[in-house]
Structure 1
Amino acid sequence: MRIGTLGNGLMAEALAGQWVKAGHDVIIGGRDPQRAAAVAKRVGGTAGSPTEAASYGEVVLLAVPAEVAVEVARLVPPGRTLIDCTNALDHRDFTLAQPATAEAINRAVPGVQVVKAFNLAAETVWQNPPTGLGVPICGDGPLDLVAELVRDLGCVPVAAGGLVRAKLLEATAALAIGIWVGGGDVRGMFPPLAEAFGSVPPGQS
């Protein structure tokens, strides 16, 4: 698969590196050519401008600060799948700083399939993802391409509903980060479903 990244930071490097190992062709797109080239060299991809990366292949990873996400996403041509891994956090109290980024992008770039994924873990997780880690993905169209990229990390794609539910993924990230910063153990929040809910989903008993 041909993949472009919009951004050349830690998230882009971690995910791109895993996808290159899985045999995909990745172009790292960044406004700073030297930095993009350095990241591309480390992961085994190629470097280019944001416009080149946005047009490179079937899938584009949007890995830029949330405050510029919509602006940068406008570079993506129709027909692509755009993975949004951003979280619009207010770091003063770890709440959402604005409505769900994925929904704002979806309104701004018609013709592009926006999928929310990879936003619940930091780049250190994606550098060496634990086998079997569940990765929620939200989107309104077919999710096959993104599900394949999740499996290529040794992880399990979890269909989490349409794009309208992306705000819940961002809110979950805000909650978890706030708890972690406060010294809490986020890992202990989600026991196995059978223990947490029994055999019947909550609200359906």
Structure 2
Amino acid sequence: MRIGVFGAGGMAEALGGQWVRAGHEVMVAARDHAKAGTLAAKISARVGTWRETADFGEVILLAVSAPSVTEVLAAAGKATAGKVLADCTNAVGPGAVLTVPDQAARIATAVDDAHVVKAFNLCHVDVWRMTPPVFGGRPLAVPLCGDPAAVATVSGLVRDIGCVPLPAGGLDRARLMEATMAFMVGLWFDGHDAQACFPPLAG
């Protein structure tokens, strides 16, 4: 599959690198073209502009800062039409407060005929660098919110990094994922063991 990656930070490196290793073709775009080129060389990907990368990708990973998403999508223009956009952004400010309470829906209104899937936003970047992300013998489960066809596409990319896709409803439920992320991050920042809130059920 051809995957476009918007962004050249940690999430772009971690997920883009995983997908290259899984045999996908990846192209990277960022505001700083030199930084995008450095990342592309590091993970054996290509580099392009926003529009070129959107044209290239069947799926586009949105791994830019939350405030810049709409600007980036505007720069990509109609090249995102019909594409699956995997949104891993988190609009969180100081104190783990959501600055945009419905980020995925905001993205969906900013694009023409694209299919937004909320995904990969619940874990620290170091988790996505693990090969594979497995904890106590259990592969990481990755919730996905979006329309069924787009979720099915992103589910394949989740499996390719050794995780288990967890279809979690339509894009209207993405706000619950975003709020969960902010709540759990707040607990971690306060020094609590947030994972202990979700003990596994006995089989």
- Same fold flag (TM > 0.5): yes
Q: Which residue of 1 aligns with 2:92?
A: 89
How far the C-alpha of 1:46 sits from its partner, in A, is 1.1
The residue type paired with residue 95 of structure 1 is: V
Describe how 1:87-126 pairs up with structure 2 within 5 A: 87-91=90-94, 93-126=95-128
State the distance in 2 between where 1:73 and 1:61 align. Answer: 12
- 1:13-54 deviation digits (Å, cap 9, x = unpaired): 100000000000000111222111110111111111122111
How far the C-alpha of 1:8 sits from its partner, in A, is 0.8
Describe how 1:17-96 pairs up with structure 2 within 5 A: 17-74=17-74, 75=76, 76-91=79-94, 93-96=95-98
Unaligned runs of at least 5 residues, structure 1 = 196-205
What secondary structure sits across from 1:139 in the alignment? coil
Q: Which residue of 1 aligns with 2:6?
A: 6
State the distance in 1 between where 2:148 and 2:165 align. Answer: 15
- 1:144-165 deviation digits (Å, cap 9, x = unpaired): 2100000001000001110001
Q: Does 1:181 align with 2:189?
A: yes
State the distance in 2 between where 1:122 and 1:46 align. Answer: 25
Identity of aligned residues (%): 49
* Corresponding pairs, count: 194
The residue type paired with residue 180 of structure 2 is: T
When residues 94 and 51 of structure 1 are mapped into structure 2, their CA distance, relative to the original with a 3 A threshold, is same
Q: Does 1:136 align with 2:139?
A: no
State the distance in 1 between where 2:169 and 2:202 align. Answer: 21
User: CA RMSD of the aligned region, Å?
Assistant: 1.4
Task: Give the TM-score taking structure 2 as reference length.
Answer: 0.91
Q: Which has more radius of gyration?
A: 1
Q: Which residue of 1 aligns with 2:167?
A: 159
Asked if the contact 1:3/1:25 (under 8 Å) is kept, the reply is: yes
State the distance in 1 between where 2:31 and 2:90 align. Answer: 21
State the distance in 1 between where 2:172 and 2:166 align. Answer: 16
How far the C-alpha of 1:194 sits from its partner, in A, is 4.8
Asked if the contact 1:62/1:73 (under 8 Å) is kept, the reply is: no
Task: Give the TM-score taking structure 1 as reference length.
Answer: 0.90
State the distance in 2 between where 1:135 and 1:77 align. Answer: 24
The residue type paired with residue 48 of structure 2 is: G
What secondary structure sits across from 1:16 in the alignment? helix
